[in-house]
Every structure is written in structure tokens, then in C-alpha cells.
Amino acid sequence: MMGSENEGFEEAHLYASKEEMENLVLDNPLNDSNSYSNYRSAMSSAISDTSHPLAPSILVTPADSDPILSPPPYRDHLYRNSPTESSYIEPPPFGGNVSDVNGVENHSLNLDNFGRFSRSASWSTSSSSDSEYVKITVSNPQKEQEASNSIVPGGGTYVTYLITTRTNVPEFGGVEFSVRRRFRDVVTLSDRLAESYRGLFIPPRPDKSVVESQVMHKQEFVELRRVALEKYLRRLAAHPVIKRSDELKVFLQVQGKLPLAATTDVASRMLDGAVKLPKQLLGDSSVVVAPHEVVQPAKGGRDLLRLFKELKQSVANDWGGSRPLVVEEDKEFLEKKEKINDLEQQLSNVSKQAESLVKAQQDMGDTMGELGLAFIKLTKFENEEATFNSQRARAHDMKGFATAAVKASRFYRELNAQTVEHLDTIHEYLGLMLVVHSAFSDRTSALLTVQTLLSELSSLESRAEKLEATSSKVFGAGKSRNRKIEDLKETIRATEDAKNIAIREYQRIKENNRSELERLDKEREADLLNMLKGFVHNQVGYMEKIANVWTKVVEETSCYAKENS
């Protein structure tokens, strides 16, 4: 559950201690970011990027003037003060040397570097059996040309990413392999997974971001997307069920065109459905939902008739007209749902307060630094203009003070960078809530399908009964009536089959929900606890350092202390 790599201490480089105070960089670019989500995403991108040993730390193609391939300045910001080669530069240890830390605390510091890691949320890293792993890297974005003429004007080029997988899982049939994929492929993968694994909490894919083709190629955008893709794929590989899915395997391994059914847009589906509808109504094609389609929600499909039926059913359900025949654990489910909603609200609240806490810490560090700088200027001034020894003494005192203020300022900002990472767990889980809702709605729509079929079955059966009852009355109409009864019985059988399949599907989804909720609870507890630990350790470490800085000044100015009582 704990990421074994040293993720995220690189941020410390941004504030690497330099002794020349004059070079204090107060206008650190990250301080200027207006929104903290930028700050956070900047942080998290730093994390995910540096942890993988295969990750090239900087994209370098000196000869190529293509903007995509030259290192984007955005990333340069992050690594400005750090040499990019060695990923393991000595981090300023939060606890100082062992001697700094009370011996009693040492045993708890088996989370030794823990306070310095980004929390690695269980559901975003491999947590199952330690020996097996699937490590995915996304890199090397390249512009490619559309093979056929695109209908969309201004189109024609798109970006592909190199996706490298390293694994020891035997099902993959390989140790290391790479493919090139474009974003559209990722959308396809995500959609196919959503269909196949209804009810599971599937990590959400990166946004589509409808933008102009010009912006598409801007290096910043490409870089952000690269990072997001990597994060997404890693999360997929960390999900206990998804990691074994065919869809993922195919996506990661099969060269050339992605052999998954492309997602068609809603419009054309509706179009198809509209074409089918008249036939269905006239009885030409099957009125019964084909078994394989029962497994999918009506909304996404081409079957308008089914859509209407289920809509009708859901209205009936809502108005309490017909009693839903499947009620059972609904109550327990509703309780769980309530709890999830409550959790979501609290997470959101904490998230908001965490953001303002982070801002306050940042401001504290910044202002402390500015105060220090102001006194450095004063020191210089007094030294230059000194005509009295008292001035020189004062300048000396000021220098000690200013140096301490600048140091403390740096510590505050380092502390804050890590606080951001730790508290990011909250945001991650908040994002997860959306996924949970979508898994719940999978269940709801499956239930709706079942209910619709049940009520249809019951109305078909009552029609059949009525028909049989009228048999003996009219003479000569017998043959057509019998045929009708036969047809009806056929329809009933088919509907019965569909109903059974639908019920099975519903049960499957319910079970998915249940097991996922269990997994969520367990992992959430672990992750949040780790977050707390990281946060607390972090605070302790940096506050100790800040205290030391000021204690030194207290000693240096102790001669003034005897003036007070």
C-alpha cells in the first residue's frame, strides 16, 4: 500500500537551501499560480513523473524544432533547481539527523521517509501480492497525420503517446512491451471497460477537453495530458479486477490499430434506433430485447422501444404505481448510498478547508520571507552608513534575525508543498465518489431493466390468459386465435429468458457494488490514516526545524533579555 519509490520529494529541490540570501528566490513561479488546483496538479504531476525508473526526466530533441518534442518550459519550472539525472538527491530530511529526533519517536519513524512521500493511494498503486507488478509509463508524444482525409476541416493531425509496460504477470506473455496510442483509443478503452464491468468502481479517464486543433498541439497541453494518461493507466493496472481484463491487455499490448469496438456517438445510435423502431412496432423485428442486449443499459443502446418501455417503468416505479418486484436488500443499499453521500459531503468540506489551510501556510511563508528580505536590506544599509558602533551592532543583530526569517520562510514553504501532497488524498477520494455514483447507477439501471421485463412478462401472461379464456365462445375463429396464443407463448418464453439474464446481470452488478464498497472502505481507511500520519509527521519535522532556527536567535539576542523582567 505504501509506494516504495520516493515519490515527490523532488519538490524540495525547488526550495533547496542556498546560503546566499541575496539570491533568495521569492518569485518562485509556483507561488504565482492563482488557483490552488494548478498548484496541486503541478505537484502531483511532479510526483507521478519522477517515480518510475523508466521515466525520462526531460524530453530532449535538440535538433528538432517541433514544439512538442522540445522540453516544455512548464516542466522546467518544476525542476529548475534540480539536476534531473539523479532521482535520489538527498532530501532535506524532515526529522533532521537522527540525533535531532527524540529517541522515543524513532520507532514510529519506520514511516521514516513516509512523511516525505506523496501519499500513494492504494487504489492508484499496486497493492495486491507484492511480487507481481504492472508498471506503466506514458511518454514521447508525437504528432501524426491522419491516414485518410478527415471530414472535419482543420483536422488531420493528432498526437500519439508511447505506452510502455513492464510486468511480471504471466498472462501478458511478455516482460516489457510498448505501443503507440492516441487519446481516442483511451476513450474507447474506457467505454468498453464501463460496459464490461458495470458496477465496479472504475477509475475515471482524463477529460476529453474539446479544444481547437491548434491548442491540441501546444506543449503544455500535451504534457498535462501525458501525465493524466499515465495516472489513469496506472490506476487501471492497480484495480484488482481491471488489471486482468482483456480490454486492458489488448490496449497495452496489441500493436497497430486498437482492436476494440469504437465508441459511436449518441446521435448515430439514436438514428439507428429510430430506424428500427417502426419495424419493431409493426412486429417485423423482435419486440423482445435480445438477451445480449439485456446486459447493457437501454440508454446507451439502439433500442428505442426498450428505452421507452423502461422509461415508462421507471415512471411507474416512481409514482408507486406498481410495486417493484425486486425489493430485498434495497434498504441496505439505500443506507449505503446515504452513507456515501454523507461521506462525499464531508470530504468536500474538508477539501475546501484544506485548500485554505494550504493557502494560509503559503502566505505565512511568503510574508516571513519578505520580512527577512526587508531586514537584509536594512542590514546592508546600516552597515554602509554606519558612523557608530551601535549601528554596527544593530546591523549584526538584524542580519541574524533576517537570516532566520528567510530560513523559516523556506521551511514553511517546503512544509506546505508536502502538506499539499498529503491532503491531496482527500481530493482523490472526492473524485472517487463520482465513480461510485456511476457504479450505483449501473445497478439502478440494471434493476430497471429487470423490473421492466417483469412487468412486461406479467402483462403478456395476462393477455395469454384472456385469449385462452375466450376460446370456446366463438366458433371458427379458433385457428387464428390458436396461432395468436402460440405466438404469445413464444414471446413469453423469450421474455422469460431475457428476464432471467437481466436478473443474473443485476445480481452480478450488485455483487460488484458490494465487493467494491468493501474494498473502498478498507482502502480508504488505510489511505486516510496514512494521510494523517504523513501530515502529522511532516508538521512535526518542519516545526522542529523552524523552532531550532529561532532558538538560535533567542540565544544570540539573550543579552537583551535581561532588560526585561
Sites of contact with other proteins (CB under 8 A): 105, 108, 339, 342-343, 346-347, 349-350, 352-354, 356-357, 359-361, 363-364, 367-368, 370-371, 374-375, 377-378, 381, 385, 387-388, 390-391, 393-394, 397-398, 400-401, 404, 408, 525-526, 528-529, 532-533, 535-537, 539-540, 543-544, 546-547, 550-551, 553-554, 557-561, 563-564
- Give 236: exposed, middle or buried? Use CB within 10 Å, 0-12, 13-18, 19+: buried
What is the DSSP secondary structure assignment for residue 369, as one 8-state letter?
A: H
Kindly tell me which of 47 and 368 has the beta carbon lying closer to other proteins: 368
CB of 340 to other proteins, least distance (A): 10
CB of 331 to other proteins, least distance (A): 19
CB of 120 to other proteins, least distance (A): 15
Kindly tell me which of 106 and 507 has the beta carbon lying closer to other proteins: 106
Kindly tell me which of 61 and 557 has the beta carbon lying closer to other proteins: 557
Residues 128, 169 contacting (CB under 8 angstroms): no
- Cα distances from 437 to residues 145, 516, 517, in angstroms, run 38, 12, 11
Strands ordered across the beta sheet of 176-182: 134-145, 157-167, 176-182
Residue (of 200, 157, 199, 204) closest to 182 by Cα position: 157
Residue 292 contacts by C-beta under 8 Å, 6 or more apart in sequence? Answer: none
CB of 345 to other proteins, least distance (A): 8
CB of 116 to other proteins, least distance (A): 16
Kindly tell me which of 230 and 355 has the beta carbon lying closer to other proteins: 355
Residues 449, 502 contacting (CB under 8 angstroms): yes
Give 212-217 contacts, CB < 8 A, sequence gap 24+: 212/154, 213/154, 213/155, 213/157, 216/158, 216/159, 217/67, 217/68, 217/143, 217/157, 217/159
What is the DSSP secondary structure assignment for residue 10, as one 8-state letter?
A: T
CB of 28 to other proteins, least distance (A): 17
Residues 293, 301 contacting (CB under 8 angstroms): yes
CB of 301 to other proteins, least distance (A): 38
Kindly tell me which of 394 and 463 has the beta carbon lying closer to other proteins: 394
Kindly tell me which of 436 and 454 has the beta carbon lying closer to other proteins: 436
- Cα distances from 476 to residues 466, 480, 485, in angstroms, run 18, 9, 15
- Give 84: exposed, middle or buried? Use CB within 10 Å, 0-12, 13-18, 19+: middle
Kindly tell me which of 462 and 551 has the beta carbon lying closer to other proteins: 551
CB of 37 to other proteins, least distance (A): 17
Kindly tell me which of 371 and 464 has the beta carbon lying closer to other proteins: 371
What does DSSP say about strands 157-167 and 134-145: parallel, antiparallel, or unpaired? antiparallel
Could you give the CA distance from residue 224 to residue 215 in angstroms, rounded to a whole number?
A: 12
Kindly tell me which of 178 and 391 has the beta carbon lying closer to other proteins: 391
CB of 489 to other proteins, least distance (A): 54
Residues 415, 2 contacting (CB under 8 angstroms): no
User: What count of residues does the chain have?
Assistant: 565
CB of 4 to other proteins, least distance (A): 18
Residue 330 contacts by C-beta under 8 Å, 6 or more apart in sequence? Answer: none
Kindly tell me which of 216 and 357 has the beta carbon lying closer to other proteins: 357
